[in-house]
Amino acid sequence: MSTPSKLRNDCFALPAGVHWTPVSEALDLLEQRLQCCVPVETCAVEASDGRILAHAVVAARSHPPCPNSAVDGYAFSGGLEAGSHSMELREGRSAAGVAFTGRLVPGQALRILTGAALPDGADTVVLQEDVRMEVGQLHVIGPLRAGANARAAGEDMQEGAEIFQAGHQLRPEDLGVMAAAGLGEIAVFKLLKVAVISTGAELRAPGQAARVDQIFDANRPMLCALLRRWGMEVVDIGIVPDEAAAVRAALDQAAERADVILTSGGASAGDEDHMSAVLRAGGGMALWRIAVKPGRPLALGVWGGVPVFGLPGNPVAAFVCTLIFARPALLQLAGAGFQMPKALHLPAAFSKSKKAGRREYLRARLRDGAVEVFASEGSGRVSGLSWAEGLVELPDAAAEILPGQTVCFLPYASFGLP
């Protein structure tokens, strides 16, 4: 498969006159303008956890491949009416992987173990604890329906049936399903490579010495970990100073090594916001002023044909914008489609008066069946991210939230996080 084409420089341009873009409109635009940007490769089923299917997967054979026993017992033909019954006990047995090669005739029974193929002429199994044995004879008390304790061939999966759709991101349990269906290799998209860049003269790497006027780079470790959780390959470019030449060099390096670039800091329009300035000078940048809290500015651009997502520098805003905007866009680029989080509608355990104009996301968690929010809405309180178990999404319109009122809760699990 050929490598997908690069993006145009103007692909993120907003319609004339747009100043503040609603969240839903921004998401619609991202879905419309982005497409899968990675080629297809073959992958062994055993190594495919987290990979995204490039084509639908169909069962290579039926599961189970033949009728078999669900219990340890005795196989025979047909059901039994109420009352006492006797059957001739054939010599031998059928065990898993060692099938009986003969054929039973009506009135005969054969010892069979769990998972063993039913012998020809048998369709029913009686549990071993429900029989009485005599020399060469098996005594059973009915009734017992025909087909009891037996599994039909293909009752789980039929050969040729689709078991997963293209775009599905595989989980450990899916590997078991594919293996059971006789698959050894599958077609998947190559891992999306995402370069991560932090900008700011005030930033220091975690663990380094820092002056009181410097801060530690919280964004890069957090963003890299998010990307790995989502099954993407991280290209860590590091911290870049607030200098136009350094920003250009970092973008050049990232575009050479990755399919997407994720930056934090310098995405607004201030004196030291060199990321947006460099992208704008390169002819491929649009500053989307999104009506969202926390966040607002989201710089979207193209550098060397590679899409760039310029996130806010504040860690809380960077985290929220990554979940809400970057994740569905990255999954679209990776071949999994544009995925929105699944919301839970639950009673609030808080009060809030919200003004109209912006969609708001509050750090929240679930306790005793209700949703409580972090004590402070300040986006500088990074500890609230770990306190939380998800986000409460408040609508664009004005709202008066009272305890017990239903709110929209987006658990971290709906964003692919534990």
Q: Which are the contacts of 370, defined by CB distance < 8 A and separation ≥ 6?
A: 346, 347, 348, 349, 403, 404
Q: How far apart (Å, rounded) are the C-alpha atoms in residues 151 and 212? A: 70
Residue 177 phi, psi dihedral angles, 5° rounding:
-65, -45
| pTM, to two decimals | 0.88
Contact predicate 337/167, CB 8 Å:
yes
Per-residue DSSP letters for 197-209? EEE-TTEE-TTS-
User: What's the pLDDT score for residue 1?
Assistant: 44
The span from the CA of 64 to the CA of 319, in Å, is 45
Tell which residue, 96, 24, 106, has the closest CA to residue 64: 96
Which two structure tokens, joined as six digits, stand for 286? Answer: 């649009």
Going along 45-189, which residue ranges are E strands? 57-58, 68-69, 73-76, 80-94, 108-112, 124-127, 131-134, 137-144, 150-151, 162-164, 185-189
Q: What is the pLDDT of residue 271?
A: 47
Spacing of C-alpha 416 from chain mean position = 5
Q: How far apart are CA 300 and CA 195, in angstroms?
A: 15
Q: Residue 203 has what pLDDT?
A: 86
Q: Tell me the C-alpha distance between 99 and 95, whole Å.
A: 6
The pLDDT tens digits along the chain (418 residues) read: 445 667 777 677 766 656 788 899 889 999 998 999 999 999 999 999 999 999 999 999 999 999 999 999 999 999 999 999 999 999 999 999 999 999 999 999 999 999 999 999 999 999 999 999 988 899 999 999 999 999 999 999 999 999 999 999 999 999 999 999 999 999 999 999 999 999 988 888 888 888 988 888 999 999 999 999 999 999 999 999 888 899 999 999 999 999 999 999 865 555 456 777 788 787 577 777 888 999 867 888 888 889 999 898 899 999 999 999 999 999 999 999 999 999 999 999 999 999 999 999 999 999 999 999 999 888 788 999 999 999 999 999 999 999 999 999 999 999 999 8
What are the φ and ψ backbone dihedral angles of 176, each rounded to 5 degrees?
Answer: -65, -40
